[in-house]
């Protein structure tokens, strides 16, 4: 019988691109070359869309308009002068000055399209002094991707998301702050359901929260035109990533005029958001000088957050931005759940003001930058009984005043990339169903040991305003039915038998050596 040849697994577009991009390693730092790769992917996508529209205009007999950017912008397509088109880049890909030509192309695209202001890499290619042959090989690989072939598939968005996650993985601890793992963002979106109104992220990284909000709306048959997006990002290169990430998906957003510190230069001071989704830096130290921002309006009604840790500054920034029915879902280090000093005073006031809706402990090793367990907070400015019309259902919320739902997800999740954890779709359905059941109908909700507990404010006050879930969620003592005397006797017997077996083995070995004429003691 002929030996069957195992079918070779075809590499995905993402894998092929990643391998090609990896060839840049050595001459370019990973923290830098993500901007190289993603800038090129953006340029190819913009060119494919431009050429498609150009062909459309010619077929419609409007050839005299093919160099007028208004006829591209009206269809939400970026106008590209000749030196910015992908065909021009490929024609010159083997030239020694190709890096300069790419920089010029990106600069020209940005200059001709105001929506891209501050979005594209600035003089990256020339400055990095890359090997021309390696850069040409990467250009050839990207050239083989038809970014608009499948209208139903967000190919470029998919590639972009894949690259962001791989770069975050590659950069490891202390890096990768630009990316929040997708399954966490999915969970936040499915829990707070950002379907209509204003969405805000005060530390937006590469814009993943916004992308997932739009996907949530699409998946639930909502209208993307009913959403307005606002954000802010401190790091200039990450700010560019966010603007590119949103631009390739046609998502309009106000991320401020420049990259800027949310505390020191709030670019949305009067904003009131219906939804906030965020993953701000954990335990940020020295976020303000001792005499700065003391009288900032964002802390009004609360104590001033301590300079030693920005966790509660982020919380109060978000509370101040919520509309009267606003909901926020954000990630913080677990230390914010308890502790004393000014943080205790702020936490107590948040609980007394009844804006804390749910506290969710996440599994360890979900983030690429830290292996610690962290917390998802959900704040809600209106926990009263009300009816909300979602895109695909009408939701009747019961009165949840003076209640907080605690969830412990440390036993949830599936392995990812060998040493990381992510939520499966089934996990997210289970978690969100428990949360929404608690919100709407206590007949459908029940406390589950080691998973969930709905606590009254009186219980929280009795535990001195601690928000640590393990103080409320029941822990199952699996040892309570064990007879420890019998267990000890069993273990002792097992140990004795092991010792006897080892002694017998030594005796058997000694006998063999004696028979062979060796005088060996064991």
Q: Is the pLDDT of residue 194 over 60?
A: yes
CB distance 332 to 374 below 8 Å: yes
Q: Per-residue pLDDT tens for 209-231?
A: 999 999 999 999 889 889 999 99
Residues 475 and 512: their CA atoms lie apart, in Å, by 56
Rounded mean pLDDT, 386-394: 90
- The 3-class SS string of 251-266 reads CCCECCCCCCCCCCCC
Mean pLDDT computed over every residue of the chain: 87
CB distance 201 to 276 below 8 Å: yes
Least confident of 59-68, 346-355, 366-375: 366-375
Predicted local distance difference test score (pLDDT) of residue 76: 85
Q: What are 415's strand-pairing partners?
A: 421
Q: Is the pLDDT of residue 1 over 60?
A: no
Residue 270 — very low, low, confident or very high, per pLDDT cuts 50/70/90? very high
Q: Per-residue pLDDT tens for 321-333?
A: 999 999 999 999 9
| Of 170 and 37, more confident | 37
Stated length of the chain? 522
Rounded mean pLDDT, 59-87: 92
Least confident of 41-45, 319-323, 406-410, 511-515: 511-515
Residue 30 — very low, low, confident or very high, per pLDDT cuts 50/70/90? low
Rounded mean pLDDT, 13-21: 75
Rounded mean pLDDT, 357-382: 91
Residues 270 and 253: their CA atoms lie apart, in Å, by 16
Q: Is the pLDDT of residue 22 over 90?
A: no
| Of 436 and 419, more confident | 436
Residue 309 — very low, low, confident or very high, per pLDDT cuts 50/70/90? very high
Residues 264 and 266: their CA atoms lie apart, in Å, by 6
Q: Per-residue pLDDT tens for 33-51?
A: 677 788 888 899 899 999 9
| Of 153 and 248, more confident | 248
Rounded mean pLDDT, 372-388: 94
| Of 502 and 335, more confident | 335
Predicted local distance difference test score (pLDDT) of residue 128: 74
Q: Is the pLDDT of residue 185 over 90?
A: yes
Rounded mean pLDDT, 115-136: 81
| Of 420 and 4, more confident | 420
| Of 126 and 456, more confident | 456
| Of 511 and 393, more confident | 393
Q: What are 380's strand-pairing partners?
A: 327
Predicted local distance difference test score (pLDDT) of residue 27: 61
Q: Which of 103-107, 353-357, 477-481 has the highest mean pLDDT?
A: 353-357
Residues 462 and 457: their CA atoms lie apart, in Å, by 8
CB distance 164 to 238 below 8 Å: no
Q: Say how many C-beta atoms besides its own lie within 10 A of residue 353's C-beta.
A: 13
Q: Is the pLDDT of residue 29 over 70?
A: no
Residues 315 and 304: their CA atoms lie apart, in Å, by 12
| Of 201 and 161, more confident | 201
Residue 347's closest CA among 316, 389, 378? 316
Q: Is the pLDDT of residue 9 over 60?
A: no
Rounded mean pLDDT, 286-308: 94
Rounded mean pLDDT, 239-253: 88
Q: Which residue has the tokens 């340029």?
A: 43
Q: Is the pLDDT of residue 99 over 70?
A: yes
Predicted local distance difference test score (pLDDT) of residue 65: 92
Percent of the chain with pLDDT over 70: 87
Predicted local distance difference test score (pLDDT) of residue 91: 96
Q: Which conformational region is residue 94 in: left (phi greater than 0), alpha (psi within -120 to 50 degrees), or beta?
A: alpha
Rounded mean pLDDT, 440-462: 96
pTM for this prediction? 0.84
Predicted local distance difference test score (pLDDT) of residue 141: 86
Q: Is the pLDDT of residue 10 over 70?
A: no
Rounded mean pLDDT, 79-100: 94
Predicted local distance difference test score (pLDDT) of residue 129: 75
| Surface-to-core class of residue 470, CB atoms within 10 Å of its CB (0-12 exposed, 13-18 middle, 19+ buried) | middle
Q: Which domains does the chain have, with CATH numbers?
A: 13-170 (1.20.1260.30), 179-471 (3.40.50.150), 482-522 (no CATH)
Percent of the chain with pLDDT over 90: 57
CB distance 107 to 120 below 8 Å: yes
Residues 457 and 264: their CA atoms lie apart, in Å, by 35
Q: Per-residue pLDDT tens for 69-79?
A: 899 988 889 99
Predicted local distance difference test score (pLDDT) of residue 504: 74
DSSP category for residue 363: P
Residue 25 — very low, low, confident or very high, per pLDDT cuts 50/70/90? low
Residue 125 — very low, low, confident or very high, per pLDDT cuts 50/70/90? confident
């Amino acid at each position: 019988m002929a030996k069957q040849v195992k079918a070779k697994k075809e590499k995905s577009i993402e894998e092929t691109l990643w391998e090609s991009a990896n060839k840049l390693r050595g001459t370019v730092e990973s923290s830098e070359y993500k901007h190289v790769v993603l800038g090129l992917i953006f340029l190819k996508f913009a060119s494919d869309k431009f050429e498609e529209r150009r062909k459309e205009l010619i077929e419609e007999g409007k050839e005299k308009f093919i160099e007028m950017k208004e006829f591209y912008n009206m269809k939400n397509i970026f106008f590209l002068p000749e030196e910015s088109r992908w065909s021009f880049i490929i024609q010159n890909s083997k030239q020694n000055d190709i890096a300069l030509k790419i920089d010029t192309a990106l600069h020209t695209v940005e200059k001709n399209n105001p929506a891209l202001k501050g979005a594209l890499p600035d003089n990256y290619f020339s400055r990095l002094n890359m090997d021309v042959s390696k850069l040409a090989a990467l250009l050839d690989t990207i050239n083989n991707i038809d970014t608009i072939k499948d209208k139903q598939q967000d190919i470029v968005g998919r590639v972009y998301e894949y690259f962001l996650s791989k770069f975050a993985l590659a950069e490891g601890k202390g890096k990768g702050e630009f990316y929040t793992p997708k399954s966490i963002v999915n969970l936040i979106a499915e829990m707070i359901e950002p379907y209509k109104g204003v969405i805000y992220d005060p530390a937006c990284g590469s814009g993943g929260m916004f992308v997932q909000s739009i996907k949530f709306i699409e998946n639930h048959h909502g209208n993307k035109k009913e959403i307005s997006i606002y954000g802010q990002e401190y790091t200039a290169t990450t700010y560019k990533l966010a603007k590119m990430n949103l631009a390739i998906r046609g998502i309009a957003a106000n991320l401020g005029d420049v990259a800027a510190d949310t505390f020191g230069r709030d670019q949305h001071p009067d904003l009131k958001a219906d939804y906030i989704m965020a993953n701000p830096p954990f335990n940020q130290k020295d976020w303000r000088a001792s005499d700065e921002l003391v009288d900032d309006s964002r802390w009004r009604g609360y104590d001033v957050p301590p300079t030693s840790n920005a966790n509660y500054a982020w919380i109060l920034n978000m509370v101040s931005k919520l509309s009267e029915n606003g909901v926020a879902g954000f990630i913080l280090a677990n230390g914010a759940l308890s502790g004393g000093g000014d943080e205790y005073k702020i936490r107590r006031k948040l609980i007394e003001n009844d804006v804390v809706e749910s506290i969710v402990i996440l599994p360890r090793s979900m983030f690429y930058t830290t292996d610690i367990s962290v917390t998802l907070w959900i704040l809600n400015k209106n926990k009263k009984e009300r009816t909300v019309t979602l895109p695909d259902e009408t939701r009747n919320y019961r009165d949840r005043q003076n209640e907080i739902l605690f969830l412990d997800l440390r036993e949830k999740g599936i392995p990812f990339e060998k040493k990381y954890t992510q939520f499966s779709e089934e996990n997210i359905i289970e978690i969100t169903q428990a949360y929404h059941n608690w919100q709407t109908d206590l007949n459908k909700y029940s406390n589950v040991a080691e998973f969930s507990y709905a606590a009254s404010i009186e219980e929280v006050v009795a535990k001195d305003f601690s928000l640590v879930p393990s103080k409320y969620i029941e822990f199952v003592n699996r040892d309570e039915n064990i007879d420890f005397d019998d267990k000890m006797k069993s273990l002792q017997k097992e140990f004795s038998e092991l010792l006897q077996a080892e002694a017998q083995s030594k005796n058997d070995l000694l006998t063999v050596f004696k028979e062979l004429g060796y005088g060996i003691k064991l």
